[in-house]
């Protein structure tokens, strides 16, 4: 069950309309590394999780991502202003001007529709957690790129908040992975000597190259 609170997770505002930047920000609404993708991925992955603590973690973060999606959509709405005018967007997608009436849509910065193909679900907790760690890192990178391309202080405050929440989620998923890293696919496969061997195929290799060791240490984020 979900309940909509009429207060944003964090207040959003803009100093002035900027339709061109609104088109860029669409990437974090309907893009492959955006908020909707994250919410749907974590929620979908949660359905078969037996560890109640980790299940709640996935659902809690998924719910927060929906709140982030609302923040991004509201920021796009403010940046678009209130006049349908294609000339106001010299480059980038103009789909919102001809189909959506400037309503934030489930499209990326190029106007392509959001798709469930963005969502990764394997049914294996280790694999899904590693995928989520990577997803949060990619989302953080996109927000960093967006942060560098806007001078609007109020928009930058919103992006800074969202960027830091991505880092928080990343840390939570890392802790969860540490808890279960010896289960699932990490337990069933990759347990022989071959799983701990590294073959150096690059010659000459730099001296003291840690990746050239013959022994591979299992992953840990502790």
**CATH for 38:** 1.20.1260.10
Task: List % helix, strand, coil for the chain (3-state, nearest 5).
Answer: 55, 0, 40
In a domain, 110, yes or no: yes
Is 135 annotated in a binding site? The answer is no
* 165 burial level (CB within 10 Å; 0-12, 13-18, 19+): buried
Q: Tell me which residues of the chain have a pLDDT lower than 70.
A: 88-93, 188-191, 195, 198-201, 203, 205, 210-222
Is 151 annotated in a binding site? The answer is no
Is 128 annotated in a binding site? The answer is no
Note down the domain range covering 76.
19-186
Question: What is the H or E stretch that residue 16 is in?
Answer: none
In a domain, 205, yes or no: no
In a domain, 166, yes or no: yes
Q: Is 164 helix (H, G, I), strand (E, B) or coil?
A: helix
Domains in the chain, number: 1
Is 65 annotated in a binding site? The answer is yes
Q: What is the pLDDT of residue 30?
A: 96
Is 95 annotated in a binding site? The answer is no
Q: pLDDT per residue over 161-184, tens digit each? A: 999 999 999 999 999 999 998 887
State how far the Cα of 125 lies from the Cα of 104, in Å rounded to an integer. 33
Question: Whose CA is closest to 26, among 86, 117, 92?
Answer: 92
Q: What is the pLDDT of residue 42?
A: 98
Question: Whose CA is closest to 103, among 14, 30, 11?
Answer: 30
Is 188 annotated in a binding site? The answer is no
> pTM for this structure?
0.87
In a domain, 10, yes or no: no
State how far the Cα of 113 lies from the Cα of 90, in Å rounded to an integer. 21
In a domain, 176, yes or no: yes
Question: Whose CA is closest to 96, among 11, 15, 10, 21?
Answer: 21
In a domain, 63, yes or no: yes
Is 166 annotated in a binding site? The answer is no
In a domain, 123, yes or no: yes
Cβ of 68: how many Cβ atoms within 10 Å?
Answer: 26
In a domain, 13, yes or no: no
Is 35 annotated in a binding site? The answer is yes
Mean pLDDT score of the chain: 88
């Amino acid at each position: 069950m979900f309940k909509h609170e009429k207060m944003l997770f964090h207040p959003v505002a803009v100093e002035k309309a900027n339709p061109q930047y609104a088109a860029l920000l669409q990437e974090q609404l309907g893009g492959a590394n955006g908020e909707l993708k994250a919410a749907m991925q974590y929620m979908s992955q949660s359905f078969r999780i037996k560890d109640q603590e980790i299940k709640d973690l996935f659902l809690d973060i998924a719910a927060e991502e929906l709140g982030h999606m609302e923040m991004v959509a509201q920021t796009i709405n403010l940046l678009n202003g209130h006049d349908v005018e294609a000339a106001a967007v010299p480059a980038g997608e103009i789909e919102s001007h001809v189909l959506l009436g400037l309503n934030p849509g489930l499209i990326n910065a190029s106007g392509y529709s959001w798709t469930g193909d963005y969502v990764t679900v394997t049914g294996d907790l280790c694999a899904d957690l590693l995928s989520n760690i990577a997803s949060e890192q990619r989302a953080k990178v996109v927000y960093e790129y967006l942060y560098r391309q806007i001078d609007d202080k109020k928009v930058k405050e919103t992006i800074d908040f969202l960027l830091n929440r991505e880092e928080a989620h990343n840390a939570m998923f890392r802790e969860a992975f540490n808890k279960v890293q010896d289960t699932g696919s990490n337990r069933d496969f990759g347990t022989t000597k071959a799983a701990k061997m590294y073959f150096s195929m690059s010659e000459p290799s730099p001296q003291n190259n840690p990746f050239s060791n013959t022994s591979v240490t299992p992953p840990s984020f502790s």
